[in-house]
Chains A and B, each alone.
Chain A
Amino acid sequence: MNNAAADMTTSQAGSIKPIFARAKNVTVGYPGEIIVEGINFELPQGQAMALIGTNGSGKTTLLKTSVGLIPPLGGDLTVFNTKPGNSARRIAYLGQFHNAGFILPLRALDVVRMGRFPLHGLVGKMNAADNEMVKSAMHTMGIEKQADTPLRFLSGGQQQRVYLAQVLAHHADLLVLDEPTSGLDAAGRELYLHAMNDEMCRGASIIVATHDIQEEAALCQQIMLLAHKVVAFGPPQQVLNSETLLETFGIVIGKDQKRPAVLECAHGHDTEPAIQAKVKGRKFWMR
């Protein structure tokens, strides 16, 4: 993690963490079409930020801008202290998939292996360590038994697990995930939430677009509510209240069921208090 001293932040615990992504008054959108203006955030190492909003609220546009797929329309957006799109080796991206073309002869394993491509370029050889990471990512998402199965024979939920395993196999410093839980069953969601937590404990940061204002959002240190503008931004307990949710979604449902974070790092010595927060009533550890 090679960041300049100038780009550090003091976290709640008092330790210094490098900033992985920073937006100053950023405008995102497409030429001639501004989608969201005035975006400001700082994402330190090991933290997660959730983008929450309805379909078409600008979540995907902001994600695509932060991985360099579309240029920002204004403001100053840096990822690893450089322009978005310049740090392929350090960024893993999960887009919203179009499953239409999936008659391709690709095994689940082949898809997960693609997660290692950015680290080896065109012809760099994959070694035993790569295979180990691929295997472990498939294990994490519970699809190691499907490794040799062609993707087209897997259900939508299983395919989503494969895509998530691909992201995990990368061991990236920044994970950018667009609705990663779409199509996942309950078990898949739990595996995903654990994996997300493990990634943060490892020191990776996450930007995730989600509709889950409960478990997934509670894992994040920062929440950005989007509705063609930034409705609210800050820690979950501050941001997720009836008024802001009403402004974001136009409707508030199930606000009583809101649960805070329930995960902790396996090796708990160097973690953020927010991740350590334990909550009664629910057993999360499965391993």
Chain B
Amino acid sequence: MQWGWRFPSALQTIQTFCDGIANGQLLQATLSSLRRIIIAFVLSCAIGITLGVLFARSRLLDETFGFAVVALQTVPSIAWLPFAIIWFGLNDFAVLFITTIGATWTMTIASRSGIKNIPPIYLKSAQMFGTGRGIRLFYQVMIPAAIPQLITGMRMAWAFAWRALVSGELIARGVGLGQMLEEGRSIGDTSLMLCIVLVIAILGTISDYFVFKRVEDRIWNQYGLNTAKT
């Protein structure tokens, strides 16, 4: 049995990477994957924060559907793909759907606890200064007070979204990193496969380190949460 081609060498992988960049395929795949994940991420943040706020503000909702969110979070988002295929077909839409679902529940839970943990004294004093109980209290006090937890939630949601995205793309048609990975498998090009895995890992690290961690650190410093422990 020949094992050589099953384990690509570093050189081969680098070669494939350069080729992929040169002919634009890899770049195009990365860009369309990024486009999907960004759309899905924005959607899941919007849905997650809305749901989280509703759960935090309404005890009735929280005690009825709050439990369902925890249950949903334990379901791997790829488990929804069969439904997505039936509903939308094997296309971009299905991938977007499961990516969004993959990140939404984490975001919901993070924003719910973020809003619930706001010290009551912040809300009391806000009303004293005349914010009322409505929209101004919400965006001038509740959202900023919950920001540290929201950022942490987003960081987690981003990681969940990546997982869901790649698994969805493996199956769906179109252009993307997952599709390219599957392409590599079908033609037995393991160097391409490894190359894609590395691209995913690097993109994940870069986005986490340079975007989310930066923002999180900055916010935590501004809020004095790092010094609060001492």
Q: Does chain A bind chain B? A: no
Q: A residues touching B (Cβ–Cβ < 8 Å)?
A: none
Q: B residues touching A (Cβ–Cβ < 8 Å)?
A: none
